[in-house]
Structure 1
Amino acid sequence: MHMNQPKRNRLPRYRILTAAVLLFYASAGASPLTLPMAVEETLKNNPDLLSAEETVSLARSQVEKAKAAYWPKVGLYAEALRADAPSAFLFKTIDQRLFDPGTDFNDPGILTNIEGGLEMQMPLYNGGRNQLAVAFSRSGLSATEARRTSLQRHLISEVINVWYDILSSRKFIDIAEESVRTVTAQLEAMTIRYKGGSALKSDLLSLKVRLAEAEERLLASNNRLKLSRAALFTLLGQGPDTPDSLAVGDPFNDWSPPPYTEGLAHALERRCEIKGAQAMVDQAGTGVRTAKSGHHPVVQLAGRLYADDDGFDHTADRANWSVALRMDLPLFSGFSVEADTRTARARERSAETLRKKTLLQVRLDVKNAYLRYDEAIKRHQVAENAVAMGEESLSLVKQQFEGGSATITRYLEAELDRNSARIREAAAFYDMKKALTAIALATATSDNGPGSLFALHPAPSTEQEK
């Protein structure tokens, strides 16, 4: 009895220790989500990108399939034959090496033959179609990889923009909460004055209306934050209801974009859309050469090692072999080669037109990114001045209101103007950050890899979201 008692006491302690360890690791794993982490999760889990990865794998398999045409085809075969056809009787009994010269071929009887062997076919020349098929598939792979990279960059842009929407929503919430506190305090003071007979009921009602407006703005800002968070986690492939904490992060703290001409040159050199469009042009040109190769001869080597018997008594001394070199030269194909060539040339012209359009679109993307950045900078400067003037105006009006020389309506107008200026300043600030993202992606500044966008700039802080 005494020997078993310590075991019963240790078991609950063991469970408590295990639970404590698990709780420690669970809490340690719940670290705030930073912006680089969000981008990394998006590139790993986003369904659209996963589908694009499978498309790239398919394109790679097409390249391998095209290369397989250079290799010989080798296979085993077996055949069981029973017939009374004179030609089959003659050739098969000869291959069996059991031919009877006195056979009556008008009535040879029933033939039974079991044949098995090894066959080999190897293309020696087919008008260059094998080389063209490899080039065609490689161009297709390059175009597919370019589309995948373009999707990666688009997703990175969406994640960063949604991240800044979250940060701006938090700023709007702070402004709205401060407005609610300010108006609430004034409403409490006005209520006391109204009960004491020193304030009008219209002033009290004006404060209540203003408080309702402030609460409505707070509600809209909170809802905007929830919508942005839902959009972020949907991009991460985790679903809009995923609970998590977000860290404060900004990858563009001290980064400034290159001059416009330099950024444009960089974009024209590195943008994946241009590389993809050029790959499509190359693929279309290969298609033209492939269509023309329909007039070229085809040379093929074939070999066979086999044995025949009327049963299963196959022996090595009765084995047969053959090696053949065959050439086919098409003389007339009903103008199908010419039709295929015209079709391929039309596709080549279409691909070249698309390449030119892509160049124009890249130029427009870069131009728009720089123009929006310049606009955001100027808007932010104007908004900063408006905030400063709004703060000063509210301070003066507040003094006048407390001294009795300004009405409550004038005070509420000044408070509303100040808050509206602060909201415009916050919106312009984060629009400026979004414009920086657009420039970095439009100019292919981060073209060394999707994650290198953050390697170019200071690492974001990890202050947890309120």
Structure 2
Amino acid sequence: MQPLIHRSAPPFLLAWLMILPAVAGGQDLRPPPEVPTVWTAEQAVDFALAHSPDSRIVLERLRAAEAQARMADAADLPSVTLSSEYSQTDNPMYSFGNILNQGAFDNSIDFNDPGRTDNLQLKAGIHYRLYSGGKDTANRRTAAARVEGAATDRTSLDRLLAFEVVRAFHTVIQAEEMTAVRETALEAITASLAVAQARFEAGTLLQQDLLTIELQQATASENLIAGRHAEELARRRFLNLLGLPQGEVRLDGATGIRQELPPTASAAGRHELEGLKAAIRAAESAVAAARAEKRPSLDSFASYQIDHGTVLDDGGDSWMAGLRLNYILYDGDRTNAAITLAESRLREARARLAKAELDLDLEVQQAELDYNQAGQRLQVTEKMVAAAEETARLSRERFKEGVILAIDLIDVETRLSDALARRSSAKALHRVARANLRRAMGLPQFAESQDIEKEISQ
């Protein structure tokens, strides 16, 4: 049911009433993202970083860590409270207390039965910790280190997401090329079948050879169906990484796919290392906080209170201020156990960093070897395709002339399709290997994606 809105209502009220049902229903009022008609690799990475649920999840983790840091910083500030309470009682102790607080005592009051009283109390208080044994400072450092760790973890996950998008991008291109290869193979074998049919009718080709070519045509048709299915799956996965439930996928495979590499491969830029170093700083601060439990804490407090009663129609005010010293003499060895636990976690964090440095160095070396191997394979497959295409051209001409058998032609066509498929696979692997090497070195896939990372953090 639509709300009844008077036409003379102010414009801002009309706008609010129009969006109120959507707000109440929890709908997202943000405009839908603008989706490019044709995707480049850079556009896909930028879109995923800005709109993918994975990117939003790690962003919220960072915001949660920042909120915890603000909570830790609050320990340096005083806490101010304001309370109000109204009560009635005939309990002798509480009723007599109300009389004293309201300044209404006289000698006619019976201590055992002071009667019914009421009290309206207003109280303001302030509390400030003067010394915590270093615990609050350690907690702030722990929270700050966790914010740094969350920020580096977010960057690492964004870099991984960007790589997955680039890989999915090239997988779609490869699937499209493989579909084109299978379509070409089907067209070639269909043309050869027409020649075979003419030769069979002319009596220059055996029926067995004709059936062999028909079987090859059926196989090529089946391969084309499987290729189109794989292409559609690659498109769906690409959209999923971008955070889009559906849509048309048209890719520009010739623009912006060149990703430069530094002259020297190194894992020094990996944000995982910075995240582990931040975890070590957090663990060190946690040890300091655990040790601070052995020291005393000193608090200051002050309050001002106003009491007023309607039964006695009188009132009074009072104040209180002081210092409070807290020191734990014995806690069942809980503090010592907490210190041991914190120190153990610190040693574990340092060991994780040492292990990660070795693992990431190995990962970079493997990525560099994969990239070099992919480049070599691409060069070889280019030569394979050139030779296979020329061989197929000559074999088709010879088959028309009746020089070679159908089985020989099928063998040549199969080798051509295999060479084209190998080249397409090698091309995609080479580009993915280059993107993987950038990821292993801790680099963004494109310079623009680094700017997007900064924008969505704000």
Q: Identify the TM-score tier after normalising by the shorter chain.
A: 0.7 to 0.9
Q: How does 1:46-445 map to 2 (within 5 A)?
A: 46-82=52-88, 88=94, 92-100=98-106, 105=111, 108-239=114-245, 241-253=246-258, 255-259=259-263, 262-264=264-266, 267-268=267-268, 270-311=269-310, 318-445=316-443
Offset of residue 416 of structure 1: 1.4
Distance in 2 separating the partners of 1:124 and 1:295: 16
Query: What SS does the corresponding residue of 2:137 show, helix, strand or coil?
Result: helix
Deviations along 1:114-133, one digit per CA (max 9) or x if unpaired, are: 32221111111111222222
Query: What SS does the corresponding residue of 1:394 show, helix, strand or coil?
Result: helix
Offset of residue 292 of structure 1: 0.7
Report whether the alignment pairs 1:42 with 2:44. Answer: no
C-alpha spacing 1:101/1:289, structure 2 compared with 1 (3 Å): farther
Offset of residue 193 of structure 1: 1.2
Distance in 2 separating the partners of 1:57 and 1:87: 51
Offset of residue 85 of structure 1: 6.4
Q: Which residue of 2 aligns with 1:459?
A: none
Q: Is the 8 A contact 2:173 2:251 kept in 1?
A: no
Offset of residue 379 of structure 1: 1.2
Q: Is the 8 A contact 2:92 2:113 kept in 1?
A: yes
Q: Which residue of 2 aligns with 1:18?
A: none
Query: What SS does the corresponding residue of 1:309 show, helix, strand or coil?
Result: strand
Distance in 1 separating the partners of 2:445 and 2:142: 25
Structure 2 gap ranges (5+) = 1-33, 454-458
Structure 1 gap ranges (5+) = 1-27, 456-466
Aligned CA RMSD, in angstroms, stands at: 2.7
Distance in 2 separating the partners of 1:449 and 1:134: 34
Number of residue pairs matched by the alignment: 419
Deviations along 1:367-423, one digit per CA (max 9) or x if unpaired, are: 121011011111112212222222333344344434433222112212211221121
Offset of residue 428 of structure 1: 0.6
Offset of residue 86 of structure 1: 6.4
Q: Which region of structure 1 is more displaced relative to structure 2, 407-416 or 295-304?
A: 407-416
Query: What percent identity do the matched residue pairs reach?
Result: 26
Query: What SS does the corresponding residue of 1:148 show, helix, strand or coil?
Result: helix
Q: Is the 8 A contact 1:35 1:249 kept in 2?
A: no
Q: Is the 8 A contact 1:127 1:293 kept in 2?
A: yes
Offset of residue 221 of structure 1: 1.8
C-alpha spacing 1:415/1:448, structure 2 compared with 1 (3 Å): closer
C-alpha spacing 1:359/1:448, structure 2 compared with 1 (3 Å): farther
Distance in 2 separating the partners of 1:453 and 1:215: 46
Deviations along 1:84-110, one digit per CA (max 9) or x if unpaired, are: 666656655443233335755455555
C-alpha spacing 1:386/1:157, structure 2 compared with 1 (3 Å): same
Query: What SS does the corresponding residue of 1:451 show, helix, strand or coil?
Result: helix
Deviations along 1:204-256, one digit per CA (max 9) or x if unpaired, are: 112112212222222222111111000011111112x4234333345343x44
Letter in 2 for 1:425: R
Offset of residue 289 of structure 1: 1.0
Offset of residue 314 of structure 1: 6.4
Q: Is the 8 A contact 1:124 1:299 kept in 2?
A: yes
Query: What SS does the corresponding residue of 1:75 show, helix, strand or coil?
Result: strand
Letter in 2 for 1:440: R
Query: What SS does the corresponding residue of 2:262 show, helix, strand or coil?
Result: coil
Distance in 2 separating the partners of 1:77 and 1:125: 26
After TM superposition, the score normalised by the length of structure 1 is: 0.82
Offset of residue 302 of structure 1: 0.7
Letter in 2 for 1:257: L
Q: Which residue of 2 aligns with 1:9?
A: none
Distance in 1 separating the partners of 2:385 and 2:394: 14
Q: Is the 8 A contact 1:297 1:327 kept in 2?
A: yes
Distance in 1 separating the partners of 2:340 and 2:137: 21
Q: Is the 8 A contact 2:48 2:242 kept in 1?
A: yes
C-alpha spacing 1:390/1:244, structure 2 compared with 1 (3 Å): closer
After TM superposition, the score normalised by the length of structure 2 is: 0.84
Offset of residue 144 of structure 1: 2.0
Query: What SS does the corresponding residue of 2:305 show, helix, strand or coil?
Result: strand
Distance in 1 separating the partners of 2:35 and 2:303: 65
Q: Which residue of 2 aligns with 1:31?
A: 37
Q: How does 1:444-455 map to 2 (within 5 A)?
A: 444-446=442-444, 451-452=449-450
Query: What SS does the corresponding residue of 1:319 show, helix, strand or coil?
Result: strand
Q: Is the 8 A contact 2:163 2:445 kept in 1?
A: no
